[in-house]
A = this chain, B = another copy of it.
């Protein structure tokens, strides 16, 4: 059987579902359970990564230092991962994280902006740390563009590179094309796939990724994550095994970890609600949801129309002002009204 490496961002991407309020006790208990299941990498941090705790995107319940030291103590077999977005995280954050014993760093950039990761990937390479690069909102780039960006990331020092389906927009053939192109471009460098479940396809997309040659696949307990959630880890693992991929994970201990996560980390498991389906179809960052719904209600327009129009305009995170424009236009008032 082909081996795939499961990377578990429950304690990082799941934070988005609870406004970054996972505290040390919850982090420790899930990390211990994940470790018992022999999940290869357990990623922890603020949802937006190192240095991101802020009024703007949400203050975390615990500081980066405390999150990292807590999870470090809980892991005996699993490697510890963390995440960073250039702009939020700094080299100083990376230095401190290395001191805390992080084994795997993920640097995330928009699909066509790998150059923004150059400095941090280089810093991590020079520090002897394992650095991965993930291209977010990857449905907004063609397979060829992603392949080129991935090759560039490897040139900057990334020891693995891949894509996030941040908007949950992909169907399996989309994943096959993109992972295939990246694998073709980066040779023996491991390729990553990270799915979201807006169209109920996260597990199927992950299997398609593995079949196209991805070696590192992400999943979260019960799919813990914003909106429709991520790929459901304890479903992904046995489905990969049945599809001919070995994960080395103990199924029963994995199910126990997922049960613990449902009880102790989340108010309720993710649901694929209508607005998540619409944002997935439109290919829009689901973090826009609250603002879209709020502004649409105030203006009396259908928030679904707003999402589809944002999709046509290729809105990305940071462009929240575009929501105001689109709502105003659809309500027939114009932005000067």
Contacts and interface: CB of A to CB of B under 8 A. Distances in A.
Contact of A271 (B171, B222, B273): B222
Interface string A237-281: 011001100000000100110110010000011011110011001
Given A232-B200, A277-B235, A242 B171 contact: yes
B302 A252 contact: yes
Interface stretch (A25-33, A119-127, A146-154, A201-209): A201-209
A201 B207 CA distance: 11
A274 B255 contact: yes
Interface of A: 171-172, 199-204, 207, 222, 232, 234-236, 238-239, 242-243, 252, 255-256, 258-259, 262, 268-269, 271-274, 277-278, 281, 302, 304
A238 B199 CA distance: 9
B255 A277 contact: yes
B199 A201 contact: no
A90 to B, nearest CB: 38
Contacts of A269: 271-272
A281 to B, nearest CB: 5
Contact of A268 (B172, B236, B268, B272): B268
A255 B232 CA distance: 23
Nearest to A243: B171
A37 B314 CA distance: 29
Contacts of A255: 274, 277-278, 304
26 contacts: A171-B239, A171-B242, A199-B203, A199-B238, A200-B200, A200-B202, A200-B235, A200-B239, A201-B203, A201-B204, A201-B239, A204-B204, A222-B271, A222-B272, A234-B274, A234-B277, A235-B272, A238-B281, A252-B302, A255-B274, A255-B304, A256-B274, A259-B273, A268-B268, A268-B271, A269-B272
A268 B262 CA distance: 15
A8 to B, nearest CB: 16
A168 to B, nearest CB: 10
A302 B255 CA distance: 12
A255 B172 CA distance: 23
Nearest to A242: B171
Contacts of A202: 200
Given A199-B239, A200-B202, A259-B273, 9 more contacts: A171-B242, A200-B203, A203-B204, A234-B277, A238-B277, A252-B302, A255-B274, A255-B304, A259-B274
- The residue in A234, A236, A277 that gathers the most chain B C-beta atoms within 10 A of its C-beta is A277
Contacts of A281: 238, 242
B274 A258 contact: yes
A222 B42 CA distance: 31
A242 to B, nearest CB: 6
Contacts of A232: 200, 272
A204 B170 CA distance: 12
Nearest to A270: B271
Contacts of A274: 234, 255-256, 258-259
Contacts of A203: 199-201, 204
A48 to B, nearest CB: 27
Contacts of A243: 171
